Amino acid sequence: METFQQQLTLDEIKQAPQELGLSPGDTNLKVWNVIDLYFRERGLVFHKKEPYDLFLEEVKEIIRTTSPIVVEDRKSQSVYQYSFGNVSLISPSITPQEARLRNMDYTVSVVATVIQTFTTTLKNTTQKVFHNQKICELPLMLGTTYCHTYGKSAQERIDLGECFEDIGGYFLINGKERVIVDQERTEYNRIQVRVPQKPTEKKNYIMMAEIRSVVVRGSKPAFTKILMEPSLNVICQLPGLKEPIQLGTILHAYGAICGTWDIDSDSSAQIQRMIVGDDDLSSDFELSEIIETILYNSRSYRNASCIDQIGSLSNASVAKDQRSEFVTQLIRNETLLHVPIEVKPFFMGYMTRRLIMVHLGRQKEDDRDHFANKRVDTDGKLLEDLFRGFFARYIENVTEKLASHPTNVNLFEREFVITQEIHGCMSKGNWGIQKVGYQKVGVSQILTRLNYANALSHMRRVTSNRSTESRALRPRYLHGSQWGVFDPAETPEGPNAGILKNLSVAGHITSGTSETPIVTALEKIGEFESKISFLNCTAPKVFLNGNWIGTTEKPGILLAKLRQLRSQGVLHYDTSISYKASDRELVIYCDAGRCSRPLFVVKNNKLVITPEISVGAESWHELIKNGCIQYVDTTEEQTSLISTWSNDIMPKSNYCEIHPALLLGVCCSIIPWPNCNQGPRNAYSSNMTKQSIGVFCSNFLQRFDTSAYILHYPQRPLCVPRMGQYFGYNTLPCGINAIVAIMCYTGSIQGPC
């Protein structure tokens, strides 16, 4: 295609049909210069490298902020306190090629300064500092900051014994290349309203609103459910209670414990205000009936007796005099963990309103298959979950041993639980902490190296949390929210169809950024009100990562100001800002795991990027910094108008596609003119491409692989899409060109056949 495009004249390119795979805007905008910058700076495994580097920084913070270990020496009746000081990481002493040849782990060492504080009975304090105490060894991803191949040129990688096309993104465990497959899951801290699906719930309830609340990654989510019965009675299920309880009782207890009203006062008007807001119940008979049912069925317990009512339903029996403490602990620390205490009653009222509105058909039911309601856990977050759990066990083991030998500082280096357990998870593929939580199978896999395209595809794979044996069809269907983020054709056949997906070439998974800059920026904007009360609880709401942080009377102005701050670099470019007019919610996200993709920014029906910028830009980050390109996730995409072609901007567009070639994955991008094929043909071709034999890496003579296939005479395809150059398809080809000679029976084309 590259040769064919060079033969066309300028006028022919402008008039070229879409079937040729040519963007009419390429002649002016130089889109391929922008795409070159993307692959030169980011590449195909940036969504793995960035979270992993952030994970290593998080490891330092976790160790540094650990509470001191305090042990008592009974013989001398003195107290020893151990705390961690400076934490640093040490690169491996071997190269990746040495690790392959010697069947070793390629790891980074975590060392810390241990500070020993000795206090005698006379309150005399002595402090000793022990430097470079080795805490653990963690698997190191190739191509990241502490790897020997980081920032190396192709020739420098060859000198290290690596393939010149190798971009990293995988690990070396026992000398074998292993990759962590990204895991898809349901989003935390988001209210989801839908019809119950479980047989037990479907039989007794007609509508359900639930939320999984999490504050610290790796901790068990706290489920809160509000259920509506066929009689329009609404009940609530809280964690720690053996059966649901009337919603009015729960709301009254929330308001009393959180200080919204007195426990003995009549809270009917306040509860109605939190749920209904300014709606006129006199003319809305459907809404009025549900509110009256909620208040009537809880009338006996909307007083001090609500504490006894809730405490009596505890999973473990609680004495009467301890029920008040139990309920306080339940509401403050075990439900809606991500919501501040003073906002919890209003948040529960908001959940109830969402439930009622969906039941009455005034709002849409949440789509579980929409990727705005999902998150994808990458290598960094999956390893962080393991490290938090195993580091807590490490502290327990060290504390237990220090109790017998309080002066032995070497115990910090002799405890190998973190190194051994994470090594076990990486080598076996079973992800999780034994005897604590559920272990998922097949998270860590051996990297398939049949050819180079197969390896790239494996590192961009995403698997769903649904079982492959499930007969449900909807989770397997191609969803509209996957556009531009996932390859629509590259999925396996059989039971894994639709369960295993592959990211598109430009598909990106966010790594997560701090909430502090967003909160600071909101506090300086006059249209934002941070205090939530009965006066403004019905105004348009502002949510940050699922937490209700305030309200605004002018959501349009607030939205414009926040997006302007994002384009100026005050807020991180991965921040998602959108306003849902139907729900009157301004939603902001900066968490990890959101699916997003880069788009051209459009202002006043014109692209911000100009032909001069597209040619003169030196880096991809420069285009982002100048506001020419914006990463848009699946949540913001719902409220945006995106044009397809850069020379045909639709009125009132927010963004524009960079190029249609970025919509496909690695294997489908190798197919010439895939838009001219039937859908099944592209799916078959993408699967067959992974099985083709060629040269899987340039250093195959220096490797000792258990199973490897080399085609000694591979050929470069006669016709290859322009995207093929970014996947090593020209330098590490697979397959040959089929040559067919056709001749008639007599040997002469003019003779009779």
| 657 in Cβ contact with 599 (< 8 Å) | yes
**Which of these, 283, 237, 245, 247, lies nearest to 268 by C-alpha position?**
247
The set of residues, in sequence order, having a beta carbon less than 8 Å from that of 248 and lying 6+ positions away, is 271, 294, 295, 297, 298, 299, 301, 302
What pLDDT does 304 receive?
78
Identity at 559, one-letter amino acid code: L
Residue 15 token pair: 């008039």
Segment 284-330, tens digit of pLDDT: 888 889 988 888 888 777 777 888 888 888 888 888 888 888 888 88
Buried b (16+ CB within 10 A) or exposed e, 66-93: beebebebeeeebbbebbbeebebeebe
Q: Rounded to whole angstroms, what are the CA distances from 49 to 143, 167, 182, 619?
A: 7, 10, 13, 18
> Phi and psi (nearest 5°) for 428?
-95, -25
| 729 in Cβ contact with 163 (< 8 Å) | no
Q: Rounded to whole angstroms, what are the CA distances from 254 to 294, 331, 356, 548, 700?
A: 15, 7, 20, 16, 65
Helices (H), 143-229: 154-159, 199-204
Residue 345 token pair: 């009653």
- Give, to the nearest 10 degrees, the angle between helix 268-276 and helix 247-257: 100
**Which of these, 272, 296, 275, lies nearest to 348 by C-alpha position?**
275
CA 573, CA 578: separation in Å to the nearest integer?
A: 14
Residue 589 token pair: 């996200």
Residue 290 token pair: 């549900």
CA 383, CA 141: separation in Å to the nearest integer?
A: 11
CA 432, CA 294: separation in Å to the nearest integer?
A: 42
Residue 189 token pair: 């801290």
Identity at 181, one-letter amino acid code: V
Find how far residue 616's CA is from the centre of its chain.
Answer: 33
Task: Please report how many Cα atoms fall inside a 13 Å half-sphere around the Cα of residue 410, on the Cβ side.
Answer: 0
Domain boundary assignment for the chain: 64-181+378-450, 192-365
Q: Which residue has the tokens 């109605």?
A: 272
CA 422, CA 425: separation in Å to the nearest integer?
A: 5
Domain 192-365 is classified in which CATH homologous superfamily? RNA polymerase Rpb2, domain 2 (3.90.1110.10)
**Which of these, 444, 576, 434, 421, lies nearest to 513 by C-alpha position?**
576
CA 188, CA 224: separation in Å to the nearest integer?
A: 12
* Domain covering 64-181+378-450, topology: Rna Polymerase Beta Subunit; Chain: C,domain 2 (3.90.1100)
Enumerate long-range contacts of 128-132, CB under 8 Å, 24 or more apart: 129/85, 130/409
DSSP 670: T
Residue 420 token pair: 């051994």
pTM above 0.85, yes or no: yes
What pLDDT does 27 receive?
45
Q: Which residue has the tokens 């205490």?
A: 341
Identity at 634, one-letter amino acid code: T
Q: Which residues of the chain have pLDDT under 70?
A: 1-28, 122, 218, 435-437, 745-753
- Give, to the nearest 10 degrees, the angle between helix 46-64 and helix 379-404: 20
Residue 436 token pair: 């604590």
DSSP 447: P
CA 611, CA 613: separation in Å to the nearest integer?
A: 5
Q: Which residue has the tokens 């200080």?
A: 259
What pLDDT does 4 receive?
34
Q: Rounded to whole angstroms, what are the CA distances from 646 to 73, 630, 649?
A: 73, 15, 6
Which three-class secondary structure state does DSSP give residue 282? coil
What pLDDT does 18 receive?
43
CA 357, CA 349: separation in Å to the nearest integer?
A: 12
Other Cβ atoms within 10 Å of 693 Cβ, number? 14
Question: Can you say whether the dihedral through the CA atoms of 378, 381, 384, 388 is positive or negative?
Answer: negative
Three-class SS string for 551-578?
EECCHHHHHHHHHHHHHCCCCCCCCEEE
| 425 in Cβ contact with 445 (< 8 Å) | no
The set of residues, in sequence order, having a beta carbon less than 8 Å from that of 517 and lying 6+ positions away, is 570, 571, 572
